[in-house]
Amino acid sequence: MRMNNTASSAPEPDAVVREELTRLRESIDNIDAAVVHMLAERFKCTQQVGHLKARHHLPPADAQREARQIARLRQLAENAKLDPAFAEKLLNFIIAEVIRHHETIAGNTDGNTDGSDAADVG
């Protein structure tokens, strides 16, 4: 049976665990917010790349660039003690979405960067 601590000022073990969990979850929430903001900035850049490529009739995907990025990211992951296979999967997932955006831009617009499409330009 668990001892009752009401006489001492020490918190109940359950309360200590809850506080630790809350503290860790606050950090996780901050990190998740940073990830979302960083991804949003990355997609702003890749959207501009997509428009540039469309304007100059370049293909949406660049396999050589991707291979260099994957090699670099795997090394960074290893140094940071993150599973390189996970880092590679994550990057491939993001790049696949970027390429999908680039294909849409190439199909729907003249590659302008102001968010309007060719039909709006007149």
Ligand X SMILES: C=C(O[C@@H]1C=C(C(=O)O)C=C[C@H]1O)C(=O)O
- For ligand X, which is the closer residue by CB, 82 or 99? 99
Distance CA(54)–CA(63), nearest Å, equals 17
Q: How far is the CB of 95 from ligand X (least distance, A)?
A: 4
Interface residue list for ligand X (CB under 6 A): 46, 49, 61-62, 65-66, 69, 94-95, 98-99, 102
- Phi-psi map region of 57: left, alpha, beta (phi>0 left; psi -120 to 50 alpha): left
Reported for 74-81, long-range contacts at CB under 8 A and 24+ positions apart, including other chains, are none
Chain position carrying tokens 């293909």 = 59
Q: How far is the CB of 42 from ligand X (least distance, A)?
A: 7
Q: Which residue is nearest to ligand X (CB)?
A: 98
Distance CA(93)–CA(39), nearest Å, equals 12
- For ligand X, which is the closer residue by CB, 28 or 76? 76
- For ligand X, which is the closer residue by CB, 28 or 86? 86
- For ligand X, which is the closer residue by CB, 25 or 65? 65
